[in-house]
């Protein structure tokens, strides 16, 4: 009996290998993006951030499918996200365009980094209680994709970072501020991936992949730029009396401007859910 308890305790102290392998792969991709940018390989650095997004989306789903979710995995995933979507994009864009701006450049990169840290911390405290249909503020992977897409797009057009330093500075700061804003972004978690769809929908998905494959830098940057803008547009359209607290403030302030019908919709949709590691 004693040996059995010791064996069970040893198993509980271990960690699940499979989901943490994907998390480690995402962390490696984010770290590689930093190293690549230090060697002036900015296209590779931008692509590595997108690869980190893929691994970040897979690890959570693998953990749920294999019933290997754990507190350790959630914490490890959050730390990896801070590297891949907080530090890596900031350093990539700094090495690419912001370094010649001096203090303004590294402060812009820091604004993005602290925005990602605050965004991840707020997300972790809202797991299971927030409306799963929306994100409060721009998700950190989406913000990272906006930065990486900008670098990749510019490199694809053979623009140097020095010629776009002020544009890069503006987009970097705006991305950081959007992450800590109260703008509501669709999470697309309400899409039923298990349900049946028309055959035409499959063809449309294939067409989307083909379009992205033809010009990945242009398409990805355009998509994530449009998504970044969608939050402010949606908030302005749904708020009757827009105030400063509707843009930045405590999460309870965000709820005070909702209409009665929106409250009823949220009451029907909000339910305790496991942590989703796709968007932070």
What pLDDT band is residue 260 in, cutting at 50, 70 and 90? very low
Instruction: Print burial letters for 47-61: b (CB count within 10 Å at least 16), e (below 16).
Output: bbbbbbbebbbbbbe
pLDDT score of 261 more than 50: no
Q: What gap in Å lies between CA 34 and CA 46, rounded to an integer?
A: 10
Which residues make Cβ contacts (< 8 Å) with residue 137, sequence separation at least 6?
119, 122, 178, 179, 180, 181, 182, 183, 185, 231
pLDDT score of 31 more than 50: yes
Instruction: Print burial letters for 4-24: b (CB count within 10 Å at least 16), e (below 16).
Output: eeeeeeeeeeeebeebbebbe
Average pLDDT over residues 46-74: 89
pLDDT score of 138 more than 90: yes
pLDDT in tens, 182-195: 898 987 776 666 66
pLDDT value for 245: 67
89 closest CA partner among 181, 161, 27, 151:
151
């Amino acid at each position: 009996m004693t040996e059995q308890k010791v064996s069970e305790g040893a198993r509980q102290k271990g960690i699940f290998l499979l989901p943490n392998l994907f998390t480690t792969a995402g962390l490696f991709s984010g770290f590689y993006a930093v190293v690549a940018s230090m060697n002036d390989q900015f296209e590779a650095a931008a692509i590595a951030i997108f690869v980190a997004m893929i691994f970040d989306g897979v690890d959570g789903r693998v953990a749920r499918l294999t019933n290997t979710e754990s507190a350790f995995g959630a914490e490890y995933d959050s730390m990896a996200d801070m590297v891949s979507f907080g530090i890596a994009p900031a350093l990539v864009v700094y090495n690419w365009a912001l370094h010649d701006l001096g203090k303004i450049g590294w402060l812009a990169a820091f604004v993005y980094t602290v925005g990602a840290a605050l965004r991840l911390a707020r997300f972790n405290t809202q797991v299971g209680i927030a409306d799963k249909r929306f994100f409060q503020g721009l998700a950190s992977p989406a913000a990272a994709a906006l930065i990486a897409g900008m670098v990749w797009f510019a490199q694809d057009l053979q623009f140097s970072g020095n010629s776009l330093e002020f544009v890069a500075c503006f987009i970097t700061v705006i991305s950081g501020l959007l992450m800590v804003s109260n703008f509501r972004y669709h999470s697309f978690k309400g899409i039923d991936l298990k349900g049946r769809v028309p055959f035409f929908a499959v063809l449309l998905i294939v067409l989307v992949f083909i379009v992205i494959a033809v010009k990945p830098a242009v398409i990805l940057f355009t998509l994530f730029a449009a998504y970044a803008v969608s939050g402010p547009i949606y908030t302005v359209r749904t708020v009757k009396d827009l105030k400063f607290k509707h843009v930045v403030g405590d999460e309870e302030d965000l709820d005070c401007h909702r209409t009665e019908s929106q409250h009823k919709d949220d009451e029907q949709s909000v339910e305790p859910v496991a942590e989703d590691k796709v968007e932070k």
